Each structure stands twice: as structure tokens, then as C-alpha cells.
């Protein structure tokens, strides 16, 4: 069963689906997505077992709750008529239980500006209100489908390196890291407290190479910048073009080139 992602996520890869789909092997024993975010590739294309992970513990808590307690999650969702005041009230509320935290993340994700996830130095979510008039608070059907799909997945909070250390021949690993490039303003986004530094990009390219040597089918999305291309010398490379989603107004969104590397 395939379905749409349930969260909006900066750097989300819905637009990449028709490009990556024909490149994925038809048979594989396990799919790894260690920079999960909204998980567009997983939800849209993957059947069978998967290991899904991300460093963002609120995001992982959300998916774990969606998988195991979808009804509890629905019952905790804020069903009132959404407004700017309500958004800031909910944003400032401290909640304890894992299902309440999941409900809060889902609400903020639907109502915040461009669905961005960003926290200040105290770890507090600080994205302003930005609900699209058409957005519903709860997309119940879509969430139930996603919950069903997550049943066959392992979902863990982890750094990407730990998450893929057991991947072997016949598996797929798709890396979609935050985009940092040397000397570039190309798509740099701060997703959470842990900034993805240049050293992390280098570390990632080494892991990708190590996995490729083990017979893993490796795919890497990254910024269309020379410094990145050098890191993946020897990989097949597709240049893919998309519209930037970061500018506030759609008229100001530039076209951006990205790379898709694969083995």
C-alpha cells in the first residue's frame, strides 16, 4: 500500500518521486531512510520492511505514536476552529505525554509557516503561524493509511551513521540530509538544534561509499554544488531541478538544481 506523507517538511521529496522511482531496484530486502523528515519516498514508493530514523526526537515520537496508537492520537488532536491565537496558545503549551507531544507536533506542522520545523537554543519550537486557508487540522483517512503502512517499519531516533550500520547487500539506503555546501547559500536550512555541518557532509559521503562497497543500493540527495559533487566522485549522478520552497511568496521562488547520486 502506498500513501501520501502526513507531515509537511522542509526539503520534502514529493517532487522527486517520479525521478527516483524508476531508479529503485524492484527487489530489496530492507529499505533504510535515515533522514526521514516527512518520509515522502517511503510513503509513496516503498513496500515491505523499512528502518526509518531521524535525529529529531519529536518527529520520531510522532511516527511511533501514529503507528501504535492512532486512535489515541486522534483523540488528543485539537479539533477546534484553528486561528492565529489558538496556534500561539498551543505552541506555548508544555505537554508531557508522548501522544500529546505527537498531537502538538502534528497541529503545529499543519498550521505553521510552510510546515517548517525550527527550534530556538532552548529547544522551543518558534515557527510563526502560517496556515493555508485550505488546510484542515486533521486528515483522518490519510493518517490511518500512514499508520497502517508504518506497522512494518522499525522507527528509531538516531544519527544517520548508527542507523545504517547493519545495512547489507540487497538493501536500499536513501540519504536526504539537510543541505549544507561549502561557500554556498544554496538551500541551507537549519532544521533543529543540531546543525548539519560540513564535517557531517564529509562523514556522510564516507558512509555512502562504505555501504556501496558492501553491495547496498545507495541513493543520496544533495545540494547542486561543486563541493558536494566532489564528495561523490564515482557515483552515478542525475541533476534534478525544482522550485525553492523557502521564499514566503511563490512569485519569488527560484529554480534550484540538486544532485541525486546513486550506485
Ligand X SMILES: C[S@@+](CC[C@H](N)C(=O)[O-])C[C@H]1O[C@@H](n2cnc3c(N)ncnc32)[C@H](O)[C@@H]1O
At 216 the three-state DSSP class reads: coil
Quick one: 37 or 82, whose CB is closer to ligand X?
A: 37
CA distance 111 to 91: 10
Rounded least distance, CB 106 to ligand X, Å = 15
Q: How far is the CB of 258 from ligand X (least distance, A)?
A: 11
Cα–Cα distance, 125 to 32 (Å, whole number): 28
CA distances from 107 to 28, 87, 117, 202 (A): 35, 8, 12, 35
What residues make contact with ligand X under the rule CB under 6 A? 9, 11-13, 34-35, 37-40, 54-56, 159-160, 176-178, 191-192, 194, 196, 200
Instruction: Report the nearest approach of ligand X to the CB of residue 260 (Å).
Output: 12
Beta carbon nearer to ligand X, 72 or 203:
203
Cell triple for 89: 496558545
CB of 92 to ligand X, least distance (A): 22
Residue number, 156 or 237, with CB nearest to ligand X? 156
Across the strands, what pairs with 184?
none
From CA 257, how far away is CA 179, in angstroms rounded? 12
User: Grid coordinates in use for 208?
Assistant: 555512502
Q: How far is the CB of 63 from ligand X (least distance, A)?
A: 11
13 or 110: whose CB is closer to ligand X?
Answer: 13
Q: Quick one: cell of 255?
A: 529554480
User: Dihedral of CA 44/45/50/54: which sign?
Assistant: negative
User: Which lies closer to ligand X via its Cβ, residue 71 or residue 247?
Assistant: 247
Amino acid at each position: 500500500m502506498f500513501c501520501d506523507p502526513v507531515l509537511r517538511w522542509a526539503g520534502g521529496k514529493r517532487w522527486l518521486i517520479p525521478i527516483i522511482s524508476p531508479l529503485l531496484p524492484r527487489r530489496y530486502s530492507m529499505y533504510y531512510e535515515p533522514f526521514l523528515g516527512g518520509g515522502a519516498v517511503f510513503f509513496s514508493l516503498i513496500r515491505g520492511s523499512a528502518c526509518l530514523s531521524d535525529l529529531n526526537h519529536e518527529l520520531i515520537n510522532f511516527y511511533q505514536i501514529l503507528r501504535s496508537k492512532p486512535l489515541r492520537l486522534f483523540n488528543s488532536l485539537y479539533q477546534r476552529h484553528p486561528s492565529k491565537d489558538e496556534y500561539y496558545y498551543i505552541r506555548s503549551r508544555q505537554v508531557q505525554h508522548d501522544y500529546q507531544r505527537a498531537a502538538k507536533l502534528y497541529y503545529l506542522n499543519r498550521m505553521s509557516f510552510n510546515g517548517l520545523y525550527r527550534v530556538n537554543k532552548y529547544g522551543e519550537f518558534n515557527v510563526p503561524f502560517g496556515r493555508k486557508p485550505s488546510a484542515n487540522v486533521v486528515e483522518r483517512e490519510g493518517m490511518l493509511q500512514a499508520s497502517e503502512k508504518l506497522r512494518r517499519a522499525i522507527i528509531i531516533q538516531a544519527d544517520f551513521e548508527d542507523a545504517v550500520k547493519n545495512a547489507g547487500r540487497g538493501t536500499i539506503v536513501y540519504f536526504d540530509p539537510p543541505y549544507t555546501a561549502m561557500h554556498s547559500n544554496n538551500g541551507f536550512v537549519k532544521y533543529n538544534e543540531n546543525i548539519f555541518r560540513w564535517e557531517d557532509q564529509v562523514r556522510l559521503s564516507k558512509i555512502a561509499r562504505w555501504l556501496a562497497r558492501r553491495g547496498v543500493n545507495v541513493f543520496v540527495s544533495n545540494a547542486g554544488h561543486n563541493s558536494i559533487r566532489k564528495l561523490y566522485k564515482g557515483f552515478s549522478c542525475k541533476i534534478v531541478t525544482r522550485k525553492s520552497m523557502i521564499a514566503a511568496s511563490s512569485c519569488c521562488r527560484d529554480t534550484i538544481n540538486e544532485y541525486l547520486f546513486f550506485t
